[in-house]
Amino acid sequence: MRERELIGLKEAEFKRLTGVNRGTFERMRTEVERNAAGFGRPPKLGCGDQILMTLMYWREYRTLFHIGKAYGISESQVSRIVRKIEDILVSSGQFSLPGKKILQPSNLQIEVVLVDVTEQPIERPKKSKNVITAAKRSVTPRKHSS
């Protein structure tokens, strides 16, 4: 999905699709545009499409191959773009996640119940000739010849 297809979406639909608010997306775009290198051949995808591709990779867990086919570029190029966008966003300091201690409140008590459900070996009787009881020959009916 290209960035131009997202223009008509409502705010709730935009967040549902990308995982971020439109304002956050715009801040990401300005940060990437500010840090993007301006030399060499112009990229096939604009900054917005590169950010959208990275969000698609994070949110949907799609493979680089599938994303590359959707955007018409190679798998290795998708990998380079995702790595570049990640580096720019992390180095800006605006888009990092809070640490573990902030995500988990300290007054929360965790109770753990451990159940042992491993299989236990059971003894089965061993097969031997002494255990088998054979019928006597005299009890077995004979075929009478007439």
Domains of the chain, by residue range, sit at 3-97
Which residue type occupies 132?
I
Q: What is the pLDDT of residues 98-113, one digit of tens each?
A: 666 666 666 767 788 8
Residue 73's pLDDT is: 92
The DSSP result for 12-59, as a single string, is: HHHHHHHSS-HHHHHHHHHHHHHHS---SSPPSS-HHHHHHHHHHHHH
The confidence score (pLDDT) of residue 127 equals 73
| Mean pLDDT to the nearest integer, 119-126 | 76
31 burial type by CB count under 10 A (0-12 exposed, 13-18 middle, 19+ buried): buried
At 104 the pLDDT is: 61
For residue 110, the model assigns a pLDDT of 74
pLDDT, averaged across the chain: 81
